[in-house]
Structure 1
């Protein structure tokens, strides 16, 4: 028995099998289905959609850059006579300045008021909070044209007719409901514990908001401000209704003056459309990163 134990102890230990590699995570059905789709079935619809979107812009550039009376499908020789005509003869320089003033003022007013209202809805509880939120949502179903006559009477009594301030005020009021709801959602994603830590350190509520919450709201503020600017830049009804003097009109109203009762100057109209589109394209080209970040407003975790 002793010899058997000695022989058993002298035997070399059997090496253990190496651990099996971790199994690859199983992909969901949608991901597997997407990988099985040929690339041309993805890129072809995207190319068709891009073509459908860009053709009107090319047509507008074609009429704006080719000489009057030309039927060429290529803007050659290139001419800028239409731009010179609308900018100098049709006062588009003044229209552009007025639209820029209205857009920037609406952006600032909408952002500031929506920031205060959104913070109140996100951080405070009061009796009519749900009813107030419901009223904000329901106000989005009211078309702006329905409010033209009441607003005109209000601005006439306030002696604000033919003033850019009336357009700014009307645009701000109609932009505020959606802007307040969006800002409130952004603020709710910022943990209250961050503000409480600042209060413990001796900060007031306003100082804690400015130092802690406001920097985290930058994407949301850019998203809200950009929509306010673009909407006020393109809006036609308010400027047409409240502004009658030519030196107070904006670009959408100026474009309308290029269309006559029986005919339209297509070259000048296309050049005016290019002038109207350039600022919006530049704005979205610079803020697209912040805009996408603003819509994915769940990046802050508690």
Structure 2
């Protein structure tokens, strides 16, 4: 019988079996980003495969000429508002699902899961009629409401699963010390929910930032457009300004990359913890 150390060494896969697939995956993933960055900083008409000489004319064109500064601000407002509303409502609903017993709870969870199979395109006409009756057409609040509604089912399930993993004895100890339920939740449970809140909030922000269909349907004036709709204006009927399109794509990708660079640790922890129990 082999020693334990030798047995483990024999089971270890060769390095090339790890690095070759990872290298191919990175190549497949990063080449489109490099191509986009190349077109964004390469002078118009150039066919060089290297970004030299570097020009920022395309960024200046989309930021000031095409109004991307306004689109960017609108996307930030919609993303931030969707993040806050989705997180707050999912936090309250997730706590109720995890800690309380009530009639129809399983049916409610099943209904929440079933909504994830409904494409957003099927809801465009009903949502348009609702927002028109509420006079919310061409308002950024229509996007915030629609995004919150579509993000809530998954967010509720994630947060409720995370709260179930927090022992109820922690809250009971706070109750014994004189805290009410709300105070115990704020002092004991809420600090432990940071990974779940980061996961839910980041998912809501990124989805609302990238959503094109709702913004195209519910907004009809240029000063209310978001970044995805603004990108479509770089596509002409007979020609396409690839430099402006690539520069707009870089601008649209920067906030998402920054968000995930800072929250990736909490994001993975939140998704994995929320999926342990149902």
TM-score range, shorter chain: over 0.9
* Counterpart Cα distance in 1 of 2:4 and 2:256: 46
Does residue 1:258 correspond to 2:234, yes or no? yes
Does residue 1:180 correspond to 2:156, yes or no? yes
Equivalent position of 1:15 in the other structure = none
TM-score (norm 1): 0.88
Equivalent position of 1:42 in the other structure = 18
* Counterpart Cα distance in 2 of 1:283 and 1:205: 33
Distance 1:44 1:124, change over 3 A: same
TM-score (norm 2): 0.95
Give 5+ residue unaligned stretches, structure 2: none
Equivalent position of 1:3 in the other structure = none
Equivalent position of 2:206 in the other structure = 230
* Counterpart Cα distance in 1 of 2:114 and 2:50: 49
- 1:42 deviation in Å? 1.1
Structure 1 residue aligned with 2:105, among 112, 118, 129?
129
8 Å contact kept, 2:90–2:159: yes
Equivalent position of 1:171 in the other structure = 147
Structure 2 residue aligned with 1:95, among 66, 71, 85?
71
Equivalent position of 2:115 in the other structure = 139
Give 5+ residue unaligned stretches, structure 1: 1-22
* Counterpart Cα distance in 2 of 1:267 and 1:24: 58
RMSD: 1.6
Please identify which structure carries the higher helix content.
2
Does residue 1:247 correspond to 2:223, yes or no? yes
* Counterpart Cα distance in 2 of 1:253 and 1:269: 12
* Counterpart Cα distance in 2 of 1:124 and 1:25: 50
Structure 1 residue aligned with 2:263, among 287, 290, 296?
287
Does residue 1:115 correspond to 2:124, yes or no? no
Higher Cα radius of gyration = 1
**What is the number of residues matched between the two proteins?**
273
Structure 1 runs (4+) deviating above 6 angstroms are none
